[in-house]
Chains A and B, each alone.
Chain A
Amino acid sequence: MKFLGLSKKDTTFLLIVITLTLLTPIILQPFPENSTLAQFNAGYPDLMQRFAIFGIFAIGFNILFGLTGYLSFGHAAFLGVGSYSVVWMYKLLGFNVLPGLLLAIVVSALFALFIGFISLRRSGIYFSILTLAFAQMSYNLAYSVLTPLTNGETGLQVYGNDPQVLMGENAPDSPHFFGLVMNESARLDLGGWQFTFNNGYYFTAIIAIIVFYVSLRIFRSPFGLMLRAIKTNQTRLNYTGLNSRPYTLAAFVISGMYAGLAGGLMAAMDPLAGAERMQWTASGEVVLMVILGGAGTLMGPILGAGFIKYFENIFSKINDQVLQGWFGFLPDGIENFLIGVSHFFVGKSWHLTLGLLFMLVVIFLPGGLVEGGQRIAKALRKKRSGDDDDGTEAQPSAAE
């Protein structure tokens, strides 16, 4: 059976991903509203939107880094460019997100073409430094000279006296997609549970599914195979008479477009754009996501993005009161000690946890969470069958 040009296995995989994405508001809300565990719920619009947006960003980055092995430290520049494009379209045309998103993709593609054309003349760490240099340049310029375009430190936003020529009489005055207002939600109360179905989330989720499908097709295409060949041994590829540059450039532009789209969607959820989105720490974050999830795998970037954004949110919410609630049953001395230790890892210092986790993953699990899952699955299988089944190893699972 072929569906949209996918093999049966991939179709099942895609369908699972679609189902999970569409049911996210329910899945991420497993605890009733009044229970003490409700703080671990993640089913509110702002966070779910971020899951989808950073998922898109990471999927795109994975096409470059996961497949070709070129480690870019400057993808945040495209994120910023995307955001600025969308806000400019709000200012000039109106609050419909469609023109802005299209412009974001086009502009970031051109920008990526320019940066990629220059940076890809070098490989290894020189490529990383070049991309980093371009991104830092964009960031510094956005803060200083390009202020008429970016509104500097204040950040670009829509003001009352902006032209907004396509703005209709009754059009909503916040981002919308042909009348579908992004920050409106439907609520469903079911017993103790409360589910929020947010327009913005579903809009980003559907885009995320589409771009995920595109990346699935790229992974399975001859083009994807070529990119993998570049990662495995570029010298040998060159000796066979193939010029690898157009392929890497195409991968770079595609991943830049993904990043631009993600940046545009950020501005589509919240009509603001600031230069800090271009800072190199933001580029580092997407690298973390992809590595943590598993570079070069299909599912990895999404897992990594979800993981980091979820824990960023949950960990930074845990404060002294919450900790006291947890350890309250212990004797005072032990309670204070445990709270003191936990202090290192939660609340404002959750980045420490992230850094540690990241180091642990790179040291012990270079394949990321996906590899971890596979190892566990393999260990379980081994236990069940009782002997080595090396024959199945040659076939990659759909998640790879």
Chain B
Amino acid sequence: MDAIILQILNGLDKGSAYALIALGLTLIFGTLGVVNFAHGALFMIGAFVAVSVQRLLGFSFEQIDPDKTDFLGNPLKVKMTYVESWFGPEVGGAIVDWSVPVAVIVAIPVMLLVGFVMERGLIKHFYKRPHADQILVTFGLAIVLQELIKYFFGANPIQTPAPSAFKGSFDFGVLIGFDPNAIIYPYWRLVYFAFAAVVLGGVFAFLRFTTFGMVVRAGMADRETVGLLGINIDKRFTLMFGLAAAVAGIAGVMYTPILSPNYHMGMDFLVLSFVVVVVGGMGSLPGAVAAGFLLGILQSFASMNEIKSILPGIDQVIMYLVAILILLTRPRGLLGRAGVMEE
């Protein structure tokens, strides 16, 4: 029992990331009808926003500390970050320590801007082109973004630690009445899951309870009629693209303590996110989220030693296997409408 709960928990953080990326992909596909292969790159850009923020906050200068001396008796030079000198050591140190959550605040406007530029500059011209062209041009864009990141940040993963308050693990099992040490779970993963739940809830609430969201949903259902009613749907869809980019971006920011960002993480997540979208049903937002968590949890179950000993290698292929099975038996996906993208 405890092993099963542990695997579900383990699947949650990865599932959260899948759900957030797949949600953005589905939003873009549902509103603009564009298959965005550069969406993984947006996730990666978000992660590197976190890296940049961490570096910016880490900028420091040397100053002489009058109280301390080094072993030769000279005054000791200590490094002091600018942030600390501005806000005092306590607040400044906390800001440096909390660089990842700070990066979330930075990432939202940055990603919105990236999204706008991408949509207005490139995607706009591909609405009427075949899906194959859309896939290919965004694939090209993904390569370009990936190489730019590699150029500026190098090919090696960059450590981005979580705030020290969330380092380490806690004993989750005790909370729900298991023996101590039965279920040990890192704090940050729980934070990530809560964060994802908030973002997902926010996006759904936005679509559900605001006039803007209503118009967008109407536009997803029947773009032409909404246009005939005199509503500029394109403008709103552009905003939705920005929103999808921002969701992917902050998903990337918050994921950095779990996986040190590297330049190809976008591509790695993209392939799996597409699998998620297809399993959930192309164009279905709840489907994308449900499939994200479902596949994340399935993946962590498949990596249990008990399962691996029966079916060797299953942890490597489970996602694809599920995708193949779903596509063959229920091509619309778990929650999708029939006939989407089956030209």
Contact B341 A366 (CB under 8 A): no
Q: Which of B16-24, B50-58, B65-73, B322-330 contacts A (4 or more CB under 8 A)?
A: B322-330
Q: Which residue on B lies nearest to A353, using beta carbons? A: B147
CB distance from A371 to the nearest CB of B (A): 14
Q: What's the least CB distance linking A134 to chain B, in Å?
A: 7
> What is the CB-to-nearest-CB distance from A363 to chain B, in angstroms, rounded to a whole number?
6
Interface membership of A238, Cβ < 8 A: no
Complex-state Cα separation, A136 to B322, whole angstroms:
13
A358–B136 CB distance below 8 A: yes
Q: CB of B4 within 8 A of chain A?
A: no
| Closest A residue by C-beta to B137 | A362
| Contact (Cβ within 8 A) B131 A125 | yes
In the complex, the answer to whether B131 meets A118 with C-beta atoms within 8 Å is no
Q: Is A36 an interface residue (CB 8 A)?
A: no
With an 8 A cutoff between CB atoms, is B86 at the interface? no
Most buried by B among A125, A143, A343, A366: A125
Contact partners of A343 in chain B: CB under 8 A = 151
Which of B146, B316, B327 interacts with A130 by CB under 8 Å?
A: B327
Closest to A354 in B: B143
Residues of A within 8 A of B142 (CB): 355
Bound complex: CA of A341 vs CA of B125, how far in Å?
28
Q: B143 and A349: CB pair below 8 A?
A: no
A246 to B316, CA, bound (A): 32
Count of inter-chain pairs, beta carbons less than 8 A? 113
Residue pair B313, A144 in contact (C-beta under 8 Å)? yes
A137 close to B321 (CB less than 8 A): yes
Known contacts A284-B139, A355-B143; A129 and B274 CB within 8 A of each other: yes
List of A residues within 8 angstroms of B331 by Cβ? 122, 126
A145 CB contact (under 8 Å) in B137, B313, B320, B341: B313
Partner of B328, one of A121, A123, A144: A121
Complex: A356 Cα to B331 Cα, angstroms: 34
Taking the closest CB of chain A, its distance from the CB of B307, in whole angstroms, is 13
Residues 178-208 of B contacting A (Cβ, < 8 Å): none
| In the complex, A280 has a CB within 8 A of chain B | yes
Q: Is the interface of A mostly helix, strand, loop or mixed?
A: helix
**Does A281 sit at the interface, judged by CB under 8 A?**
yes
Across the interface, name the chain A residue whose C-beta is closest to B142.
Answer: A355
Assess whether B77 is interfacial by the CB under 8 Å rule: no
A136-175 interface bits toward B, Cβ cutoff 8 Å, 1 = contact, 0 = none: 1100110111100000000000000000000000000000
Chain B window 311-322, contacts with chain A (Cβ cutoff 8 Å), 1 for yes, 0 for no: 011001101110
A129 partner, pick from B122, B148, B323, beta carbons under 8 A: B323
- B residues less than 8 Å from A59 (CB atoms): none
Do A126 and B342 touch (CB < 8 A)? Answer: yes
Does A209 belong to the interface (CB within 8 Å)? Answer: no
CB distance from A140 to the nearest CB of B (A): 4
Instruction: Find residues 334-391 in chain A having any chain B CB closer than 8 Å to their own CB.
Output: 343-344, 349, 351-352, 354-356, 358-359, 362-363, 366
Given A123-B342, A126-B327, residue A281 in contact with residue B136 (CB < 8 A): no
CA distance in complex: A363, B141 (Å): 11
Q: Mark A223-235, 1 if CB is under 8 A from B, else 0.
A: 0000000000000
Is A359 a contact partner of B144 (Cβ separation < 8 A)? Answer: yes
Q: Does B343 contact A (CB under 8 A)?
A: yes
- Is residue A291 within 8 Å, beta carbon to beta carbon, of the partner chain? yes
User: Is residue A267 within 8 Å, beta carbon to beta carbon, of the partner chain?
Assistant: no
Q: How far is B131's CA from A362's CA once the two chains are assembled, in angstroms?
A: 12
Q: A132 to chain B: which residues have CB within 8 Å? A: 271, 274
Nearest-Cβ distance from residue B106 to partner chain A, whole angstroms: 25
Name the residue among B142, B267, B278 with the largest chain A CB count within 10 angstroms.
Answer: B278
Interface assignment of B79: CB less than 8 Å from any CB of chain A: no
Q: Evaluate contact between A359 and B137: CB separation under 8 angstroms.
A: yes
**Quick one: which of B137, B267, B341 contacts A363, CB cutoff 8 A?**
B137
Known: A124-B341, A124-B343, A141-B313. A287 touches B136 (CB 8 A): yes
Per the 8 Å Cβ criterion, residues 290-336 of B in contact with A are 312-313, 316-317, 319-321, 323-324, 327-328, 331
Asked whether any CB of chain A lies closer than 8 Å to the CB of B135, the reply is: yes
* CB–CB B132/A133 < 8 A: no
B275 touches A133 (CB 8 A): yes
Q: Are B324 and A125 in contact (CB under 8 A)?
A: no
Given contacts A123-B342, A126-B342, contact A355 B320 (CB under 8 A): no
Q: Closest residue to B141 on the A side, CB-wise?
A: A359
**B120 adjacent to chain A (CB < 8 Å):** no
Does B133 lie at the interface of the complex (its beta carbon under 8 Å from any beta carbon of A)?
yes
B157 within 8 A of A: no
Q: Closest CB of chain A to B141's CB: distance in Å? A: 6
Tell me the bound Cα distance from A174 to B143 in angstroms.
Answer: 37
Contact A122 B342 (CB under 8 A): yes
Nearest Cβ in chain A — how far from B338, in angstroms?
12
How many Å from the CB of B77 to the closest CB on chain A? Answer: 32
Determine if B337 is an interface residue (Cβ-Cβ < 8 Å). Answer: no
Cβ of A69 within 8 Å of any chain B Cβ, yes or no, is yes
CA distance A281 to B331 in the complex (A): 26
Q: Is B167 part of the contact surface with A, judged by Cβ < 8 Å?
A: no
Closest partner residue, chain A, to B35 (CB atom): A125
Interfacial chain A residues near B143, Cβ < 8 Å = 351-352, 354-355, 358
16 contacts between A and B (CB under 8 A): A124-B341, A125-B341, A126-B278, A129-B274, A133-B275, A136-B271, A140-B320, A145-B312, A281-B267, A351-B146, A352-B148, A352-B151, A354-B143, A355-B142, A355-B143, A355-B144
**Nearest 5 CB-CB pairs, A to B?**
A145-B313, A355-B143, A140-B316, A133-B320, A352-B147
Other A-B pairs beyond A137-B317, A351-B143, A362-B140, 4, CB < 8 Å: A125-B131, A129-B275, A144-B313, A355-B142
List B residues at the A interface (Cβ < 8 Å): 35, 122, 125, 131-133, 135-137, 139-144, 146-148, 150-151, 267, 271, 274-275, 278, 282, 312-313, 316-317, 319-321, 323-324, 327-328, 331, 341-343
